[in-house]
Structure 1
């Protein structure tokens, strides 16, 4: 990696560490300037509140002229994040990137995305459909995922019991949660999808 890019990333990591937000973290993976681990706190007054979400950040050789590649490592139920791969649909990570943007800006933008979903421009169509058709159920599902995967505070006992029902049928826990979330927590629909 070019020395200029490495210096800039070092400066940007310091900027995040010194930031007053207290909700962002950034660190090198294996002392490589091209591989970073980010962490954001779930925004207040959202289903993600209280959760800590880890992000994989890959810095291209052409940084800062091209955006970093960022994806959620922590599983999250959100219309603009793939519930399978963690891919994020965010304009500054694609065509709206500018060399003046920083990793701190990226982390804050992803955090803001958690607070204001764009279901009409989804990364995950299933989640977006649930958000549009049944927002209260979407919020409960997102709180459940935040509790299970990001150590969020809200336990949704009814959903845990439904996951347990599928576990007793021999279904993997994450696959059970995905099927139930996809089928609006209908055990019969989820079971049919898994065993068909």
Structure 2
């Protein structure tokens, strides 16, 4: 059974240091099993300036079993699936310890962005590019960061949807004007 008191304590600890570390964790809904984590792209990497969202699901055995983490934000990295967002990281598998927390797991994911391990890839295509044509890898990773992880690229659908009521009102007003002509 999930130790909900520990999860609540971890969420409080993350929120205390969120401004300094940039790492945030919050519940998706009112339950503490589905969470969303946010990490900033590390400075000096192609991910710099990006904000990456990670879906977190806590298994029944948490904290004795690792959280299940998957990038929600698309990212170009040898150890992260460019298709599904799956993460290849030992502490999220067999090297997990109950002494670790959600924050330390997210810090490890952030460190993975700084130090790819192409010899143990999650995405073989990205790993091949990293090993054979590093500059193209960097350019692609930077492009993906610009496209999917920067504030200017996120929420476009939300912005369009927020304008929809004004568009509808405009059409209605225009129809009234035409009726009077």
Of the candidates 8, 11, 14, which is equivalent to residue 13 of structure 1?
Answer: 11
After superposition, where does 1:26-45 map in structure 2 within 5 Å?
Answer: 26-45=25-44
Deviation at 1:30, TM superposition (A): 1.0
1:56 corresponds to: 55
Q: Distance in 2 between matches of 1:139 and 1:107?
A: 22
Give the Cα separation in 2 of the matches to 1:83 and 1:10.
31
- Gap runs ≥5 in structure 1: 154-196
What do the CA deviations read for 1:118-165 (whole angstroms, capped 9, x no partner)?
000000000000000011110000000000000179xxxxxxxxxxxx
Distance in 2 between residues matched to 1:101 and 1:151, nearest whole Å: 29
Offset at residue 110 of structure 1 (A): 0.3
Q: How does 1:1-196 map to 2 (within 5 A)?
A: 2=2, 5-19=3-17, 21-151=20-150
Runs (4+) of structure 1 exceeding 6 A deviation are: none
Distance 1:47 1:152, change over 3 A: farther
RMSD: 1.3
TM-score normalized with structure 1 length: 0.75
Partners of 2:138 and 2:76 in 1: how far apart? 9
Rounded to whole Å, the distance in 2 between the matches of 1:96 and 1:127 is 24
CA distance in 1, matches of 2:14, 2:80: 23
Scaled by the length of structure 2, what TM-score is found?
0.81
Change (3 A) 1:113 1:105: same
Say how many residue pairs are matched.
151
- In structure 2, the partner of 1:179 is none
The question of whether the paired residues in 2 share the 8 Å contact of 1:88 and 1:123 is answered with yes
Q: For residues 65 and 42 of structure 1, what CA distance do their matches in structure 2 show?
A: 28
